[in-house]
Amino acid sequence: MKAIVRSPGDSYSAAISEQAPRPVINVSLARRQHAEYCAALREAGVQLLALPPDESHPDACFVQDTAVPFGDLAVVCRFGVDSRQGEQHEVQRMLQKWVRVAEIRPPATLEGGDVLILGSRIYVGLSPRTNRAGYAQLRDLLEQEGAAVDALKVPEGLHLLTGCTYLGRGVLLVTDVYADYPEFVGLDLIHVPAGEAYAANVLAVGDSVVAPAGYPHTMSAIKDRGFKVLQVPLSEFAKADGGATCLALPF
């Protein structure tokens, strides 16, 4: 597996945050944490394709939002906030070296953090960043690739993956807000305690799970399912509403 990553630039201190009061981001610490995150990905067997920092886009380290890979196709996204438009261009050029590429067109918006992939079953979160037109365009593209694509309402949080992520083997991490969704019936749900909600967003790579450090109950439950947990500090990315999936674009 390959994954595109991009270290935060100096401008990351101005990244979007929905939190009030706005947290102060320590960019030097963020870079060290990003390096630890990349080391964990390498330990999980991922080949990293590193892009240089993008100082014109403070949020550019969150590369997951730029595209949705599925098989040998990557659908390049269109952001739900104007300040992020343009982040996707360099990622698209990198992806074109390896896979086919399609693009989400205006007036649609779609961000990768709203796309939950469970094998050939895909759920698209309707959120402040992803609209119904974005869902419809992604559905039309991926159904041609053999996927079944449905929409889900995101009742809280920035993205769908803020509150649920798939580990593989039928195991899904969920916060309370998603625990009773009928779409998830039949899956092995790990209920993330309210005090560990940030740990609902993890990045699964084969038998390994890259996860934020400091959430013992959730990590114990993941280990009990037979996964190897690679914990990394992500405090400076949490301040900009980013998690473990946000910092990489695996394909």
Catalytic residues: 159, 246
Q: What is the DSSP letter of 40?
A: H
Query: How many Å apart are CA 117 and CA 36, to the nearest integer?
Result: 25
Q: How far apart are CA 164 and CA 172, in angstroms?
A: 7
The two three-digit tokens of residue 30, written as one number: 């963020």
User: Are 198 and 243 contacting, i.e. CB atoms less than 8 angstroms apart?
Assistant: yes
Q: DSSP letter string over 115-163? A: EEEETTEEEEEE-SS--HHHHHHHHHHHHTTT-EEEEEE--SSSSGGGT
Rounded Cα distance, 246 and 83, in Å: 17
Q: Residue 66, Cα to own-chain centre: how many angstroms?
A: 10
CA angle 57, 158, 48 (to 5 degrees): 55
